[in-house]
Amino acid sequence: MPQKQKPLDLQMLDLYTDYLITSVSYTTATGMSAVLNDTISHDAITRFLSEREYTNKDLWRVVKPTIRKIESDDGVLCLDDTIEEKLYTDENEHVAYHFDHVFGRTVKGVNQLNLIYHNDQGTVPVGMAIVKKDLLFTDPVTGKLKRRSSVGKNELARELIGNCCQNQIKFGYVLGDSWFSSQETMEYIVARGKHFIFDLKNNRSMATSMEDKLKGKFKAVSSLDWEEGEVKTGYLKGMDNPVAVAKQVFINEDGSIGTLYLCTDDLTLNYTGITTIYQKRWKVEEYHKSSKSNLGFAKSPTKTEVTQKNHFFAVAVAFHKLERLSQATKLNHFALKAKLYLKAQQSAWGELERLRMVGKIAGKNAPKLAIGSGGLCVR
């Protein structure tokens, strides 16, 4: 008879996520125990991270009350993946080489796909999945042994989207970059009564009329003649239903010019509608940035696959808590973290003064800086 799975420890999750929000350096079970004055042991925290794998069902249990409070038909689901580098960890199906489009190169680490819900009332993580490279093969060119995934990102993405539909979350669009613009994913979304807006690779083939489609006259979207603000309707190669595509040109932070070919099945949208809705996809980038900068996404020394996944799960819950606090205080995540840093430094300053007083009472003055003939010195 299979053993019953232990339920989610909400009390320990609450403490661990508070620890992630308040930490300024690496997060460890020993460090958390010390912060709590050893009221919770190192072993108890370690058990929380290792006794079972927390899943998207557990995440849904945590975020469901918030989703039900803020959800709306104009909400969007945003897809994107991120990589936590693991340069000094042995390669396996969990830690493997992945192409990082942020840096434009291959890196070794854990590749996690994230799905967030967003509308004007906030951002909520609703799903995550680790991209496993569980199949070994020999590269025919180099002869080297390499890894690939038996389940690709688009399959994982469809599973996450399907969970949201099953949970009856209200949303109108799914947004993602060109990694997720597969025919299967687009058709999957439309079949569930939802819309998509995805970026297309510039070599994606499109016919601008039914006549051209029937004659097999497809052209790369980048080779079509585009006017500013124009939306072209037509058919992507291999797809039956028509789509609308808008070419968006923008300037990157480094001054370079970027181009997006934004594709949607919602033929009622004009150029402004397509680009305005797609702009909300940036929220998943903000999710990744805050998770890494404010919540210790990559600052846990967890070693096993289960503890690593559970740490990522806790980071998602910590983001949810920080976002709710952000909505209540009207301060962004970084401003909130700065306030915590300031309070921590003020507390440390006060403790330093207290220790100096203890030293004086004991007749042992604490060391102070002074200017001597040789420059700055300690007395």
127-150: pLDDT as tens digits: 999 999 888 888 888 888 888 888
Average pLDDT score over residue span 19-39: 91
- 231 plus 146 within the same structural domain: yes
> What whole-number distance in Å separates Cα of residue 90 and Cα of residue 109?
10
Same domain as 361, residue 262: no
C-alpha to C-alpha distances, 78 to 113, 126, 127, 215, 337, nearest whole angstrom: 11, 10, 10, 36, 24
**For residue 325, which amino acid is it?**
L
Confidence tier at 91 by pLDDT (50, 70, 90): confident
- Per-residue confidence (pLDDT) for residue 302, from 0 to 100: 77
Please tell me the total count of domains within the chain.
2
**Tokens describing residue 41:** 């042991």
Q: What is the average pLDDT value for the chain, to the nearest integer?
A: 90
Reported as a single tens digit per residue, the pLDDT across 303-344 is 788 898 999 999 999 999 999 999 999 999 999 999 999 999
Q: Is 59 helix (H, G, I), strand (E, B) or coil?
A: helix
DSSP 374: T
Does residue 184 form part of some domain?
yes
Kindly indicate the confidence band of residue 346, based on its pLDDT and cuts at 50, 70 and 90: very high
Dist. CA 85–CA 105, nearest whole Å: 12
- Name residue, tokens 């489609």: 213
What number of other Cβ atoms are within 10 A of residue 34's Cβ? 11
Residues 73 and 176 occupy one common structural domain: yes
Tokens of 43: 């072993």
Amino acid, single-letter form, for residue 23: S
Q: Are residues 343 and 277 in the same domain?
A: no
Residues 251 and 343 in one domain: no
Q: How many CA atoms lie within 13 A of 198 on its CB side?
A: 28
Residue 293's CB is within 10 A of a number of other CB atoms, namely 13
**Alpha-carbon radius of gyration of the chain:** 25
Stretch 228-257: mean pLDDT = 91
Q: Is the pTM of this model over 0.75?
A: yes
Last residue of a domain, one of 259, 294, 329: 294
Residues 104-118, mean pLDDT to the nearest whole number: 90
pLDDT at 6: 78
Place 252 in a pLDDT band, splitting at 50, 70 and 90: confident
Select from 258, 164, 285, 261 the least CA-distant residue to 206: 261
- The string of pLDDT tens digits covering residues 352-375 is 998 888 877 766 555 665 666 556
What pLDDT shows up at residue 272? Answer: 97
pLDDT of the residue at 255: 80
* CA 258/CA 178 separation, integer angstroms: 14
Last residue of a domain, one of 231, 260, 294: 294
Structural domain contains residue 14: no
What's the distance, CA 367 to chain centroid?
46
**Domain CATH for 172:** 3.90.350
Give yes or no: residues 215 and 155 share one domain: yes
- Verify that 277 and 195 share a domain, yes or no: yes
pLDDT of residue 251: 83
Whether 326 is covered by a domain: the verdict is no
d(CA 175, CA 152): 18
* Overall average pLDDT of the 105-128 stretch: 93
Does position 87 have pLDDT exceeding 80, yes or no? no
What domain range includes position 126?
A: 53-294
pLDDT of residue 367: 61
Q: Which pLDDT value is given to residue 378?
A: 53
Q: Which contiguous run of DSSP H or E holds residue 370?
A: strand 369-372
Secondary structure of residue 88 in the 3-state scheme: coil
Q: What is the pLDDT of residue 88?
A: 72
Whether residue 348 sits in one domain with residue 286: no
